């Protein structure tokens, strides 16, 4: 009997790494996981045939683990806040050399540089949609609740501005109200941007989340799930606009139920 094919997972926080792990095991793959300490879920251990816990900046430990495990293909899923690189600046020698030669230290540039280092060590970082077809958001209204009044008028404005920012590589998420920008997601992450928009603009904000026109599908795919919905509920938001076919939806039934119960619409364009 042939051994199970091996696949690697670089796991940050949230539900996406667990979803991928379940799908990989369901398809008969042997999963080797490099889990980010302080971000990834301990539940990944029960899905992984081998797992190591690494800190942000331990690039040598990451590539060494995959090489030892015979991993040639891997995916990257889950949140690791960009700001942690600046708060917890502990880089091993391999990561330090990479950091020193980078002129652009945006999240996208850092991830591409890590992918390059993995490739040089013999590991190909794959499209993050691999095994994840069920999580891709279909186009259309996901909720019975529809955009009303000012929020309906802000849809086109919010999409236009979000796409401009994505084109510039600034971020995926923008929050608008009354055809004015209330907040733009940057290093702080989506949830904090929502809180900031709610604090300054008040109830009725609209969140728009889009992929970059040059989206690198190996990482940082726009994602909507219960955690983001909870933040929107606390901010008394009116709705969410995402891109159908270019975003992930986590725990669909729960996410839609939370939105419906709170009068928040979800539209995939």
CB 222 within 8 A of CB 248: yes
CB 183 within 8 A of CB 193: yes
- pLDDT on residue 88: 47
Provide the pLDDT confidence category of residue 17 given band limits of 50, 70 and 90: very high
Domains of the chain: 6-125 (3.40.50.20), 136-268 (3.40.140.80)
pTM to 2 decimal places: 0.86
pLDDT: which is higher, 117 or 255: 255
> What is the average pLDDT across 182-187?
90
Tell me the pLDDT tens digit for each residue of 146-156: 998 888 889 99
CB 34 within 8 A of CB 9: yes
Tell me the pLDDT tens digit for each residue of 215-250: 899 988 999 999 999 999 999 999 999 999 999 999
> What is the average pLDDT across 103-120?
76
Give the separation between CA 186 and CA 170, rounded to whole angstroms.
7
- pLDDT on residue 111: 75
> What is the average pLDDT across 10-21?
95
């Amino acid at each position: 009997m042939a051994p199970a094919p091996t696949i690697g997972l670089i796991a940050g926080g949230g539900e996406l790494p667990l979803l991928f792990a379940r799908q990989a095991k369901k398809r008969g793959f042997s999963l080797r996981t490099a889990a980010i300490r302080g971000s990834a879920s301990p539940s990944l251990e029960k899905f992984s045939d081998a797992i190591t816990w690494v800190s942000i900046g331990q690039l040598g430990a990451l590539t060494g683990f995959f090489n030892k495990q015979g991993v040639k293909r891997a995916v990257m899923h889950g949140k690791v806040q960009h700001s942690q690189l600046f708060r917890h600046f502990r880089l091993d020698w391999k990561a330090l050399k990479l950091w020193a030669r980078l002129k652009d230290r945006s999240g996208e540039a850092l991830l591409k540089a890590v992918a390059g280092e993995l490739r040089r060590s013999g590991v190909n970082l794959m499209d993050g949609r691999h095994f994840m077809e069920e999580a891709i958001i279909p186009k259309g209204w996901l909720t019975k609740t529809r955009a009303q009044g000012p929020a309906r008028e802000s849809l086109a404005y919010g999409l236009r501005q979000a796409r401009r920012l994505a084109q510039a590589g600034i971020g995926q998420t923008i929050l608008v109200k009354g055809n004015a920008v209330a907040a733009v997601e940057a290093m702080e992450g989506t949830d904090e941007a929502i809180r900031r928009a709610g604090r300054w603009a008040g109830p009725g904000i609209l969140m728009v989340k889009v992929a970059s026109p040059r989206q690198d599908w190996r990482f940082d795919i726009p994602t909507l799930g219960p955690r983001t919905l909870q933040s929107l509920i606390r901010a008394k938001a009116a709705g969410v606009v995402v891109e159908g076919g270019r975003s992930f939806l986590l725990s669909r039934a729960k996410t839609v139920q939370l939105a419906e119960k709170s009068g928040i619409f979800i539209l995939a364009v």
